[in-house]
Structure 1
Amino acid sequence: MIILAVRCHPARQPGDTSQRGECCLTRAGSGRATGAVRKKSRTRSLLPQSRNLWSVARTWADSWEAEWAGEGCAKCAQGRPDEDEWGVRWYADSFADAYLLKRPASPGCSVVVFRGRHVPDSALFTDAEVTGYWSAVRTVGAAIHRVYAPAQINYQCMNNSVAHVHTHVPPRYLDDSGPRTMLPDQAFTGARSLAPAELLAQLARLKAALR
């Protein structure tokens, strides 16, 4: 009776022509491969070759999974205020609120926040929530186009700092500091606060553009 054993070699390194990264059957005790049955390990071939995924140090906060599940979510806790420390609401429907930022990185810069329940990623929306939320974002963008006539509008739904679906909507202009890319950090850090009268005037124009 012939006994066969599986033998796997470590992953190949650049320039290595040995049998690394392959598995083959051998006759027990012989150490020789049965030539026709050697095949590459699919699992190893699917992994990035630049680093070992199981030895990389974690960089995200230990609290991330809890935040993702909704623990301590600031967006949920605030309810649906007309104003918060960042902006003033100018649009609301069953699925979202939109706020004009008090310190906009560009004129008309707003944030749309999903409302109704805690959802950390738009992939977890129900069909109704997908339609409702992104329709609200479209409505907000259309009103900004009417009021400010930007060259383009960006829709940034990253949710990395706050694990609750919300979309930053910065209008882009032909003279801004980041053509054909995202606005640079200095556009945000150097943004000026709107004067109260200016803020109210822009809110009125945005609300009127919804009609």
Structure 2
Amino acid sequence: MPQALPDTPPTPAAPAADPGLLQPWRPDWEERKAGKDCPHCALIAASDDQPWGLKVFEGEYVTGILWRAGNNMRGYTVALWNRGHACEPTDLAPAEAAGYWLEVTHLAAAITAVADPAKMNYETLGNAVPHLHTHLIPRGRLDPAPHQPLPGWCFDAEPAPEDVFASVADQIRSWISAHPTPYVGADASLTPGGSRHEDG
């Protein structure tokens, strides 16, 4: 399962106890859900080149960051809500939610075109960092756990060589450039095909 992005506050370690024991969330959880010290908000405002990833997409609703680690997950990308802080998809207005998922799936289409996965996985969790984001995980034709969730060690695997990583980033950007996202404005209604609806 994907872990928090680098430089995020660690989650409290569970005490050595009965694994069935119910545990409380961290004491400041409600504040973090509201945006306190949100590392993802900082990531969105950061430069394109990070030690752990590269921005490959900057949309109206989503910023896509290609993950540098995980050599066995070529194209693994995190899509972050980029219009301020939000914790849940249900926090968004209907047009915002439509725009978010439209851009998430458009980014996934780019990754699919580049990585040719056996299956794409979509994980919208936020249990470590409660900023709305979706992990786009291409599952390789040769995979550590076919037909199952990926084991956690896959997300910490050694990164691909830098030239390979940069090539994947360029290919994703090129695909997106050649296939513009069907835009859904904040004040528009989503119509079949994702077009903008205008009265008259």
TM-score bin (small chain): 0.7 to 0.9
> 5 Å matches for 1:1-150?
58-81=23-46, 82-104=48-70, 106-150=73-117
The percent identity for this pair of structures is 28
Larger-gyration structure (1/2): 1
Higher relative contact order (CA 8 A, sep 6+): 2
Q: How many residues align?
A: 155
Q: Distance in 2 between matches of 1:201 and 1:111?
A: 18
Q: What's the CA shift string for 1:11-62, capped at 9, x where partnerless? A: xxxxxxxxxxxxxxxxxxxxxxxxxxxxxxxxxxxxxxxxxxxxx8643111
Q: What's the CA shift string for 1:97-153, capped at 9, x where partnerless? A: 111111035111111010011101111111121111111111111111111111110
Which aligned runs of 4 or more in structure 1 are off by greater than 6 angstroms? none
Q: Does 1:158 align with 2:125?
A: yes
Q: Distance in 1 between matches of 2:54 and 2:33?
A: 26
Using the size of structure 2 for normalisation, the TM-score is: 0.72
Asked if 2 retains the 8 angstrom alpha-carbon contact of 1:97 and 1:114, the reply is: yes
1:173 to 140, 143, 160: 140
The gaps in structure 2 that reach 5 residues or longer are: 1-20, 179-200
The gaps in structure 1 that reach 5 residues or longer are: 1-55
Alpha-carbon RMSD: 1.6
Amino acid at match of 1:207: R
> 5 Å matches for 1:169-208?
169-189=136-156, 191-208=157-174
Asked if 1 retains the 8 angstrom alpha-carbon contact of 2:77 and 2:137, the reply is: yes
Q: Distance in 1 between matches of 2:165 and 2:140?
A: 19
1:173, CA displacement in angstroms? Answer: 2.0
